[in-house]
Amino acid sequence: GDSVTQMEGPVTLSEEACLTINCTYTATGYPSLFWYVQYPGEGLQLLLKATKADDKGSNKGFEATYRKETTSFHLEKGSVQVSDSAVYFCALNNNNDMRFGAGTRLTVKP
């Protein structure tokens, strides 16, 4: 079946550092890809999405590009802030079979 594998955490960075969280997927067909963010005590919120190959999703300084040739959707941000501290989930939706990675906890220190 379809699956998502993402970089294990936790990840700890200093403010203004660069962030990359790796995500690869296995799927048949043409899934849509997503990054979600979860803050403590809250549900998952959509951060960005891409629906086809070579699409770039972006939001709040975060970016990810749908790479079909490498089956990847890595999350990047050039300069992280303390407020970015959260758990990040990579996900795919393939005909409503929605799969999530294990999540990566990011802590940004001042």
Partner 1 sequence: DAGVIQSPRHEVTEMGQEVTLRCKPISGHNSLFWYRQTMMRGLELLIYFNNNVPIDDSGMPEDRFSAKMPNASFSTLKIQPSEPRDSAVYFCASNIGLNTEAFFGQGTRLTVV
Residues that bind partner 1 (CB under 8 A): 30-32, 34, 36, 42-46, 49, 51, 89, 93-100, 102-103
- Least distance from C-beta 11 to partner 1, angstroms? 17
CA distance 52 to 49: 10
Look at strands 104-109 and 11-14 and give their pairing.
parallel
Cβ proximity to partner 1: between 15 and 54 the closer is 54
Quick one: 34 or 73, whose CB is closer to partner 1? 34
Alpha carbon distance 104, 94 (integer Å):
22
> Could you tell me the smallest distance in angstroms from the CB atom of residue 16 to partner 1?
29
Q: What is the token pair recorded at 21?
A: 């969280």
